[in-house]
A and B are shown apart, each in its own frame.
Chain A
Amino acid sequence: MTLITTPNLDDHDGFYAELLAAHRGLSETQGQALNAQLILILANHIGDREVLTEALELARQR
């Protein structure tokens, strides 16, 4: 499997709002902690090392 970079998530607007809502009321440190946990949880869920590497590469691109 390779990283999906075409639209793949139904209701992405809804997810985006939920993500922001999850951060509401958190300090910057707490927000970073939440993000870190989220990354770890999603990585485990994806469960595909190659996809994760590709995702990291994409995120590092400027």
Chain B
Amino acid sequence: MPYDYKPFPYVAPPGLSGPEPRHKVIIVGAGPVGLAMALDLATRGVPSVLLDDNDVVAMGSRAICWSRRSLELFTRLGIADKVLDKGETWSVGRTCHGDDEVFSFDLAAEPGQHLPPFINIQQYYIEEFLAERALADPLVDLRFRNRVIGIDQSGDGAHVTIRTPDGQYGLSADFVLACDGGRSTIRAMMDLDFEGERFDERFLIADIEMKADFPAERWFWFEPTFHDGQSALLHRQADDIYRIDLQLGWDADPEEEKKPENVIPRIEKVVGPDFELEWVSVYTFQCRRLRDFVHDRVIFLGDSAHVVSPFGARGANSGLQDVDNLGWKLAAVLAGRAPRGLLDSYNRERVAAADEDIRHSTRATRFMTPSPGMERLFRDQVLALAGKTEFARGWVNSGRLSAPCIYASTGADDPMLPAATRPGAVVPDVPQGNGWLLNRLGTDAALLAVNCAVPGGLDLPVVEMQVNALVRERFLGDAPGALYLVRPDQVVAARWITADARTVSSAVRAMWEGRE
């Protein structure tokens, strides 16, 4: 049963009949990133106007793999149950050369996590769930068929011009968040350049419906016999829909390849004849980013700031981490709780994260589509070696899957404590009583006390941790006890084996100032 694209209602905005009061935040683009941003700000009490030029969720084949970190954000935004209910969780990936499996991995091997490492669900469902939440949230003013066609900023505010079916109007705000996707109009209107690499390779991406019992696993083939010498990827999604990516080569003619009479025989070779075609597109990919994501009062997030090839599922997942990173900072700046400089730390941290994503995605895309000559030679020989030795299996690169970036940090640290929870890393989830740590952390910063006393006189929520084996392993190592200062986005800011109130206070100050 194909997805039912129900249009959301357009309502003539008040700005058409008279000037609106200045807003705090305008978000342009209600894709996964803009929607999540509006909801995240709402959990912090910040109202926003969310503008989208369209009135339906994402059409066609887009994101399918959502990471654990995205699920953690979805938990905070109140849609995780629906996503877990609808999606297909998976943890096993299999990589084949020719028709033989060279190796497999199981991401679930890490114990003590209640959320799966990845869940597959079509982007239109994610957007539907988020949009429902946004429409019900009094702090989100979601306006469909409102297309931003102009932007400028003066010293104290940003202004956008908007086109609606009933005419144009203008809005002003303290901040404009550009979440308007890979072809960002705001980026173009501000004349900002996108730097990086494009790949001269075409991929056919198809979603098919079929009743089959292919396991919910990621299957990747290099040079399978069913697709002469090129690569192929198969993934299961919700509703008996499967995603197939087939490398086509640069010479392929996208219009020709999209024709059912050309697509169907190709797919039949992978899965047999019993399927319905739901959607087909031909893509080329690029790995590029803006030089800076913060331009005074205009801030870029998601695909408008950075794009990657999809192998590694780093597009939407990374955009959602932008949301995670910016939400608390923007709320604090708007509330006068932190200086504007805190926003520079969004730029610093997320630019570095985008570079990491781009590095991984570029390497994976290169491995899958090597240029002729030495690049091809080494790629083929890694594959050949992978059949005969263990080490080379790890070198086979069909995408390194999205993981939260560990930010560069000079926050206080102690070498006795485990590396995985060092400053800059997201706090790993661990069981606490009948629940989980991350659910106990609110939207504010917190001090985690692990087997140690909390210094008095601090104005900060404290979580006294129950010490179990996983807590010991992830937070203590060989230390008897520890204090962790955790940012509102659940990133470790600093940690100590013992600390007095003054030491902790100065780390708290550094955190709100966005010092590295």
Contact = CB atoms under 8 A, between A and B. Distances in A.
Task: Judge: A and B partners, yes or no.
Answer: yes
Interface in A1-39: 32-33, 36-37
B384 A33 contact: yes
A41 B385 contact: yes
A41 B382 CA distance: 10
A37 B384 CA distance: 8
Interface residues of B, number: 11
B380 A40 contact: no
Nearest to B391: A44
B389 A41 contact: yes
Interface in B459-510: none
B377 A36 contact: yes
A40 B377 contact: no
B381 A36 contact: yes
A32 B374 CA distance: 9
Interface string B364-381: 000000000000011011
Contacts of B382: 40
Interface string B381-405: 1101100010110010000000000
A40 B391 CA distance: 10
B72 to A, nearest CB: 32
Contacts of A40: 378, 381-382, 385, 392, 395
B371 to A, nearest CB: 15
Nearest to A36: B381
Nearest to B381: A36
Contacts of B378: 36, 40
B392 A33 contact: no
A21 to B, nearest CB: 20
Contacts of A33: 377, 380-381, 384
The residue in A32, A37, A44 that gathers the most chain B C-beta atoms within 10 A of its C-beta is A37
Interface string A29-60: 00011001100110010000000000000000
Contacts of B384: 33, 37
A32 B381 CA distance: 10
A36 to B, nearest CB: 4
Nearest to B379: A36
Contacts of A44: 391-392
A37 B391 CA distance: 12
A40 B389 CA distance: 11
Contacts of A36: 377-378, 381
Nearest to A33: B381
Contacts of B395: 40
Given A40-B392, A44-B391, A32 B377 contact: yes
A44 B391 CA distance: 7
8 contacts: A32-B377, A33-B381, A33-B384, A36-B381, A37-B381, A37-B385, A40-B392, A44-B391
Given A32-B377, A40-B385, A44-B391, 6 more contacts: A33-B377, A33-B381, A33-B384, A37-B381, A40-B381, A41-B389
Interface of B: 377-378, 380-382, 384-385, 389, 391-392, 395
The 8 closest A-B CB pairs, nearest first, are A36-B381, A44-B391, A37-B381, A36-B378, A36-B377, A37-B385, A33-B381, A32-B377
